[in-house]
A and B are shown apart, each in its own frame.
Chain A
Amino acid sequence: MKNDPMKTITNPAEAMLSFHALRDDTMLIRLAGEWKIFGQYPPVDEVQKHLRSGIRKITFDTKDLTAWDSSLMTFLIKTNTLCIQGNIEIQREGLPQGVQKLLSLASPEHQRKGITRKSGKKTFLEGVADTTFDFVRTSKEMFAFLGESSIAFGKLLCGKANFRRTDLMNIIQESGAQALPIVSLISTLVGLIFAFVGALQLKLFGAQIYVADIVGIAMVRVMGAVMTGIVMAGRTGASFAAQIGTMQVNEEVDALKTLGISPMEFLVLPRMLALALMMPLLCLYSDLMGIIGGMIVGVFMLDLNFMEYYNQTKSAIALTHLWVGLFHSAVFGVLIALAGCLKGMQCGRSASAVGTATTSAVVTSIVSIIISTAIITLVCEVLGI
């Protein structure tokens, strides 16, 4: 029996691997030292290098193996694969008991058959197809959602809608009164900015007093509603999506359905109602704060008289402007509530899906606010309002 070491590989963590030819057709692999994932261990290529064509059998010697973990397991699994490819018999008797047990646990007999999924990038065409199907699916879901919410609204008008009053009141408080500080801040600053920008130009003609007109009309007709809409999209729309999304994750929505309670009536309707009611009020408040912002610039920087500014604003704003502004805000309220609730209801069943739903709700709300503003402005223009 030959027993010449063919080669020994040693590395700093002292995981050692050596090959010995026992007979012409048998190779002994000697494993020694510490095989640990935190250290260095020899690559399986070494085995491949030593697999001569005549070898039909591999045995192991682990007398000097002091410690091992998964690093040894992966080494052996790959050696096993190499042997299967080369039609070489592998004898596991020389391996530690634990290793043998784990190898059999990880063997294909213990796995479910036929499960594969390839990672990696999709081709361009697959991407296009997926996006198209997604678009069709989400469009269908959106229309179904709109239909269902209309039915729920119809039931509300008939007095048959099934939701809790306390829920409605809580949502009204959250999306109405509690939004006042942030709406105040944003609207005042927007009023200030308008007045500054307008003043720079109007000063050239000595027509500073018309700052009151610019700020008044802009805020009341459109900007008050748009700014409130954007604040509410980020604040309340996102919270609706996160609330309903988390309820999906926790199967709370399923629990409602199985009780025969429509989530559209119980969850979506009160939110839509609350926001459609609160948005015009917040918009009115935002108009006032914007005008006060403009007035601060007018009085303190342009040396206009307080009463002068007030009278100029009063004469500039017509009741039509106010109605157009309030109409904007009611539309925004419904849009934000719909986007938030829709994304919440479409939410998948995981933490990351809630995040995606929330982001998507905010983006959808803001985009629909801008688009609907453009449409309403155009229609008003055509109708001469």
Chain B
Amino acid sequence: MTMNEKRENTGEKAKIVVRDLDMGYGSYVLMRNMNFTVNREDIFIIMGGSGCGKSTLLKVLIGLLEPLRGQVLYDGANFWEGDPQQKDLIMRRFGILYQSSALWSSMTLAENVALPLEQYTNLSKNQIRELVTLKLALVGLAGFEEFYPSEISGGMRKRAGLARAMALDPDILFFDEPSAGLDPVSARLLDDLIIELRDSLGATVVVVTHELQSIFAIGNNSVFLDPDTKTIIASGDPKRLLAESKDPKVMSFLTRGEKTEQGVES
């Protein structure tokens, strides 16, 4: 049983539904007509080449950038067009790991993880301290409570960022390029941790990445953004896309440029 099982039993399978979404900046449209569904406990990959709008899509999903058109639904609730209070409530269920970890540099790791708890719960100082210790232990950082972000390595900062993202036991975790800047072993450990947390917490995970190894290791659903056509040109399980996709761009991406379409060496 996972912590979200109760919600699962009563709700539908779809966690996030994106409908006819156009996004961009001002009059500049980056992507149009996006439609996809993220199911509960999916590890959903948003992939595509550099500069295709992956991070922009993430910004739209987490409430930092308003879409030009279309809807984002969380458990059926309209995120952008609904009541602002409802939007705040939905956002409180997010845990977000930013590309640069975005830990607050003037606070210790313990204070970083404690801030969301102090802000949104009525727990006592002792209870908060216990939760902080637990979260840091879950990412393998027990004992680092009193360290400042500048005193630990990049990989540790990523994990501390993850501990902060998990502070409020979110049911949706967003990761922006989680393995960027990590060595292969740390990247693999982080991938394992993501799967482990999804399995035990029952969270839905959305990952923006172009790391092929991560994509195949953790993803069970995905969308592929293409900047030329400004649309999603492929979606589904990345392993299935690798085996079945006929699209030269998708094949080229998934095979690091070795194949432009299935079976044809370029």
Report which A residues bind B (CB closer than 8 A).
34, 36-38, 62, 65-71, 73-74, 77-78, 96-99, 101-102, 105-108, 110-112, 114-119, 348-353
Contact = CB atoms under 8 A, between A and B. Distances in A.
B102 to A, nearest CB: 10
Contacts of B193: 105
Nearest to A95: B1
Contact of A348 (B2, B4, B131, B150): B150
Residue of B117, B147, B200 ringed by the most chain A CB atoms within 10 A:
B200
A68 B3 contact: yes
Interface footprint category on B: 35 or more
20 contacts: A37-B169, A62-B1, A68-B3, A70-B131, A98-B3, A99-B200, A101-B200, A102-B138, A105-B200, A106-B138, A110-B140, A111-B142, A115-B144, A117-B143, A119-B110, A119-B146, A350-B149, A351-B105, A351-B106, A353-B105
B5 A350 contact: no
B168 interface: yes
A111 B200 contact: no
B145 to A, nearest CB: 7
A136 B130 CA distance: 40
Instruction: List the 5 closest A-B pairs by CB distance, nearest first.
Output: A350-B105, A115-B143, A98-B200, A352-B106, A106-B137
A320 B198 CA distance: 79
Contacts, number: 104
B256 interface: no
B131 A37 contact: yes
A65 B144 contact: no
Contacts of A111: 137, 140-143
B85 interface: no
Given A66-B6, A115-B143, A351-B106, A105 B196 contact: yes
Given A105-B196, A350-B105, A97 B1 contact: yes
B130 A65 contact: no
A232 to B, nearest CB: 28
A350 B148 contact: yes
